[in-house]
Structure formats: structure tokens, C-alpha cells
Amino acid sequence: LLQGVCVSMKAFLFVLSLAVLVAAVDESDVIVLSTDTFDEIVEKNDFLLVEFYAPWCGHCKSLTPEYAKAATALKSAEPPVALAKVDATVEQTLGERFGVQGFPTLVWFKHGSNSPYDGGRKAPEIIEWCKKKSGPPTKAVTAEVMDAEIDGNEAVVVGFFKDKESELYTAFFEAAKTFSDIPYLEVSEESALAKHSATAPSIVLFRQFDEPRVDYTGAATKEDIVSFLKKESMPPALEFNEQNQKKIFGGDIKKQAILFMDKEASDYKTQLATFYAAGKKFTGEVVFVYIDKEHENVFQYFSLDPKKDAGTLMGLNMALDMRKYKYTGALETDAIVEFVKTLVDGTATPFLKTEDEPAEPLDGSVTVIVGKNFERIVLDETKDVLVEFYAPWCGHCQKLAPAWEKLAKHYQDSNVVIGKLDGTKNEIEGVSVEGFPTIKFWPANNKKEPVTYDGGRTFKELKAWMGEHQTTSTAGEPKKEEL
């Protein structure tokens, strides 16, 4: 998998616009690991963050300067945290050992035990995450510091405790270790309790949007506190940017309403207020995201033109193969609410990207397939059809191209079709593509259940596989069943 597929397509498509050009970076504080040194370094460092990367990975290149800055800052932290990296295309056994399926993958080691990293990709976020994981998850502060933290953060949770004996304190402390997206403060001063009309023990969420204070009234369990905080610390609408990346794509909520906007438009504030009002109706169910036209790649991923499609609302379900839904009504709160309800209950009509049919049906000997001609070509019950789902930027796809062309030429005078489909510009209902290249086979005698190709990438291997699976002969006649 690490060698043969450009993985993490979903992450690539959505964080594409966040990639930046990387200049020369001082990585002297990042430890370079190999199979020979890995276990030794893990044993020597109580706290260690390891990045598994690929040299060709754009996200890895974007992470490099941030990771290096964090490494420098964390090596002198108390306690110190070491940052390291592994080229998983070279040290493949390490990638397999830790289940690396995409790049970059970051793994946290604490006293030798490992767990997934789920923090942000900017240096301050990496530093904050590592400090929290290596130190106490909550911070005891004075009333003065508490007020400063409340004013300086979008959301802060405060535990008012006079001692650490209560069940609520234990649950609060455990919740802080589980959900670390916001600061957790402990306050015991009487002046703080009096100023905020709080009792001890109690938990209060302070935030910079909607009602500025939300008191926790649930059970004294970690799970209930985490659920409360995840729901109430999320604003009704988030702007698409690097800082909000984890909240948008890394949380438990997999359904999103995305408004594509133009900040320079005269009705920008009105549109945003309308969208914000609709978002309040779906707290904890749908993430509302608004994105400016400067993020051209994201517009294009949704088949939108930044110059003329600002004001378009799309739905997205990440749990259903990134399925998209297009809203065609007026940007009014009630109408948006009704549209998002269909996204929640699963009755929304999917929107599938497609290119126009090509003027030339062949690229060399390979049949060019797009969304508009997929049914006519691939579901033709007289043809065996083998399709490569590719991405123009995918190095593995480019490497496969000569063998794919040779295979297509071999079958050009038969009822076997060798085709290719640009998976970044076309989507097919019911066809799941997790990475590039993905190769699927639709036999003439069974179009309902395509077979995923899992063989090698040489012409010889491709031809041998087709010889075993094709149901029509290369001469165009149906293959005769053996008696």
C-alpha cells in the first residue's frame, strides 16, 4: 500500500488549498530515525512525537517548517519532548509496524507506549498538544489569570473546585486528557466563585460566541463532559482556514454545510449572518463552514468557479465517500435549514462531479471515461471493462501509464475495454475510490459487482490478471465455458 497507492485522497482534496511553498528549513532539532535506531530513540525519550512521511507528499512538505519550529521549542520544555521523523518509503517495515496508511502520519510515544497524534499542523498547535500530553491536562490558575484566559480564547472550560476529592473533579480531569481542543482551567479562589456566581464543585464553559457562558449540568462522567464540550465549544459557523482545519475535518461530526463566499461582495455580511443563524439549529449534528474565493482549489474540487459561484451552498458527508449535495434555493435561513435537514436525514440528492465527454474518445489506445459517459461505456453488458481511477498529480499513476497503454493496445480489437477516469474531476455513484490509482473491473456478465484489482503494475501482471477474469475473448467473442 505504501509503495503502490497515493493514499489519503480525502485529506489531500480538502487541505489542498492549505499547502504552502517550503523554503530552506533548519531541521537540526528533528531526529532522523531508521529501523536500526528507532527502538533506541523511543527508549531514551520519555516523550516523543514521530512523523512518518514520504518525500513526494505535499502535506509533509507543508508540515516541515512547522514541525522543525516545534522541535526546537519542545526540546527545552519541561519536561522535554523530542520530535523525530521517518521516511516511510525507505523504512517500510516501520510504516507497516505502526499501520501507516497515509502521509503524514504522526504517532505519539509516552514512556514507550504509542497512540495517534490528533493535533493541528501549525507549530503552536503541535507545541500546545505535546505540552498537554506530557504534562498535567489541566492548569490551576488564579482568578486574574482565569479572566485573562477567558478573554484571550474562543472557548475555555473552567472547573471550580475547592478540593480534588469529588467525582466531578475526577471526571473533569479525565475529560481533559481525552478532549484537548480547548484550555482546561482549575480555580479555587472565593473571589473567582463570587465574581462568576459559581459554586464548587462545578464546571462552566466560557466562549466568545452566542451565550458567553454555558454551565455543565450533566453527570459526573468523562464521556458526558466530553460530549458537552465538543458540542458547546463549536461556533455555529467556522471559517475555512488552517487554524480551524482540525475542527472542520478531524472531529466526530462528518456532515458539513459549506458556503462558498466572496469577502469583497457587498452582501457578504448579510449572507454570513443568515448562514450563522441556520448553523445554530444544527449544533452537534452538522459543521457549518464558510470559505472565501481565495481558496480556489477547494472551489474547483466542488466544480465551482471562484469568479462566479460565490454564494453557493454545498452539503458534504465525509462518512459516505465524501458525497456532495448542491443547494439551489435562496440564501435564507429557513430555506437553508430545510436543506440541511435533508443532509441530516439522508434524503438529500447527491451531486456528482463530471467532465464533459471528450472530443477524442481515446488517449492513445486507452478509452477516456468521464461521469457523463460512464454508464454507456462501463455498464455495457457486452463488454469487459477495466478502469483506472487516477489523479493527474499522482506519481504512481504516471508510472503505471506505459503498461496501461500497452494493455489497452493489446485489447484494442476485442470486447475488452481498457479505460481511465480522472478521479479528481469525476465521481460515480456507488463507486468508492480511497486512493490513486484504484483499478476496478466490470465484467460483461456482472455489472452490479465490480472487482477491485489487487495485482502488480507491469503489463505482464495486468495481462495475466485479465486473462483470469475476462468473460469475453480478445477476438470479441464470448468466452466459452469449459465442460
Alpha-carbon distance 331 to 270, whole Å? Answer: 10
Residue carrying the nine cell digits 474540487: 301
Are residues 147 and 172 in contact, defined by beta-carbon separation less than 8 angstroms?
A: no
Closest CA to 58 of 86, 32, 20, 87: 20
Please name the helix (run of DSSP H) or strand (run of DSSP E) that holds residue 106, with its range, or none.
strand 105-110
Q: How many CB atoms lie within 10 A of CB 145?
A: 14
Q: Which of 182, 316, 397, 466 is catalytic?
A: 397
* Catalytic residue list contains 60: yes
In degrees, to the nearest 5, what angle opens at C-alpha 38 toward C-alphas 34 and 42? 155
Distances (CA, A) of 113 to 46, 47, 278: 10, 10, 44
Alpha-carbon distance 347 to 462, whole Å? Answer: 40
How many residues are recorded in the chain?
483
Q: Which of 57, 253, 257, 377 is catalytic?
A: 57
For the record, the C-alpha cell of 314 comes out as 454545498
Q: Which of 289, 394, 408, 466 is catalytic?
A: 394
* Catalytic residue list contains 394: yes
* Catalytic residue list contains 6: no
Q: Which of 6, 31, 49, 60 is catalytic?
A: 60
Are residues 41 and 77 in contact, defined by beta-carbon separation less than 8 angstroms?
A: no
Alpha-carbon distance 118 to 126, whole Å? Answer: 10
Q: Which residues are catalytic?
A: 57, 60, 394, 397
